[in-house]
Amino acid sequence: MDMSKLSQPENSVKKQFDLSGKNILITGGAGFLGRFFCEAVSEMGGFPIILDIDREALKEARKHLSNQNFKSDGYLLDLTDASAVQRTVDTIIEKYKTIDVLINAAAFAMKNLKQGGPEFFASFEEYKKDLWQISLDVNLTGTFLITQAVGRIMKLKKKGVIINVASDVAVVSPDHRIYQPDERFDYKGVSFNTPLSYAVAKAGILSFTRYLATYWAKDGIRVNSVSFSGVYRNHDPKFVEQLSFRIPLGRMAFPQEYKGPIVFLASEASSFMTGANLVIDGGRTCW
Ligand SMILES: NC(=O)c1ccc[n+]([C@@H]2O[C@H](COP(=O)([O-])OP(=O)(O)OC[C@H]3O[C@@H](n4cnc5c(N)ncnc54)[C@H](O)[C@@H]3O)[C@@H](O)[C@H]2O)c1
């Protein structure tokens, strides 16, 4: 290969991180972290297009952006509905012509800490097939459907970036002890945990990422995942203590600490990166 014939990447690192003019589709963009991702890409000049199943949250997320003078668009969508996914992507393409970046952040995840009820956190032996299934449907099949619909467009344009949000529990097992009572620390435990379905779906996302990264490499589409660790969100201080003890940096993450990695992966700053899993976990998976 004659390297001198290749177009040179941008030299200015400031410009490498710039997202000006880019249409950035964010699934689950109305969620807790999704809002930070929307804000992050907006701050760097990008245009966030939010896809979410939660009407109220979608409205609030867009309001949060417009309060900062950021423009956005939003679509109510259940990612597990294949025809709705295709219709929504068609509408977006008709309106904006192109999707430059897809961030797959939707998950049957934190919301269920509140809404899933105790059954969502049942023991493995008692775990209901329906709850196992819904986690796989949203976290894996939903990601498959939207990536397929958007990937087709990116392939035609010979350009695109896909970011799949995984988790530290895609890399290592959750430490079940952080949820369980421990007399030694006067710890009563918590009523939630990380169900196997979540960990399995997130591990699947890593494989999904590697597969598509190699499959689409020749088509100018980069596909990476990012594995975050637990984010502080008014958790029980005793739980925070248990989790923080397992993290070399000694604490949970703040949500704004995940904005930089998202911008890095979405932008030209990561132009030589595909098929990778960027682990941002305070060292959690090191030991
Ligand atoms: N919060 C954390 O500590 C943490 C840690 C590691 C990884 N993650 C991952 O980061 C991402 C964001 O997490 P979060 O904490 O913001 O969760 P969240 O529950 O606040 O947000 C998820 C969003 O996905 C949406 N969603 C759920 N099902 C959907 C469907 N069928 N169709 C469309 N939208 C749907 C929800 O409405 C919600 O707005 C998730 O992928 C999660 O697994 C979170």
Atom of ligand 1 nearest to the CA of 33: 16
Per DSSP, 166 falls in state: -
pLDDT of residue 108: 87
Instruction: For ligand 1, atom 25, name the residue with the nearest CA.
Output: 28
Write the burial class of residue 175 (CB in 10 Å: 0-12 exposed, 13-18 middle, 19+ buried). middle
Q: Quick check: CB of 167 below 6 Å from ligand 1?
A: yes
- Does the structure show a pLDDT above 90 at 105? yes
Q: Residue 118's pLDDT is what?
A: 78
Backbone dihedral angles phi then psi of residue 83, each to the nearest 5 degrees: -70, -35
Is 138 close to ligand 1, i.e. is its CB under 6 Å away? yes
Atom from ligand 1 closest to the CA of residue 57: 39
Report pLDDT digits (tens) over 129-174: 999 999 999 999 999 999 999 999 999 999 999 999 999 999 999 9
pLDDT range class, residue 1, cuts 50, 70, 90: confident
- Please write the tens of the pLDDT for every residue from 192-225: 999 999 999 999 999 999 999 999 999 999 999 9
Answer CATH for 12-174+197-239+253-279 from 3.40.50.1000, 3.30.160.60, 3.40.50.720, 2.60.290.11: 3.40.50.720
> Which runs of E-coded beta strand occur in 154-267?
160-165, 221-228
Tens of pLDDT along 29-81?
A: 999 999 999 999 999 999 999 999 999 999 999 999 999 999 999 999 999 99
pLDDT of residue 215: 98
Domain ranges of the chain: 12-174+197-239+253-279
Q: Check if the beta carbon of residue 100 is closer than 8 Å to that of residue 49.
A: no
Identify the residue whose C-alpha is closest to ligand 1 atom 39: 31
Atom of ligand 1 nearest to the CA of 111: 19
Q: Determine if ligand 1 sits within 6 Å of the CB of residue 101.
A: no
Q: What is the mean pLDDT of the chain?
A: 96
Residue nearest to ligand 1 atom 13, measured at CA: 33
pLDDT (average), residues 176-200:
95
- pLDDT above 90: percentage of residues in the chain: 92
- How far does residue 271's CA lie from ligand 1's centre (Å)? 26
Ligand 1 center from residue 110 Cα (angstroms) = 6
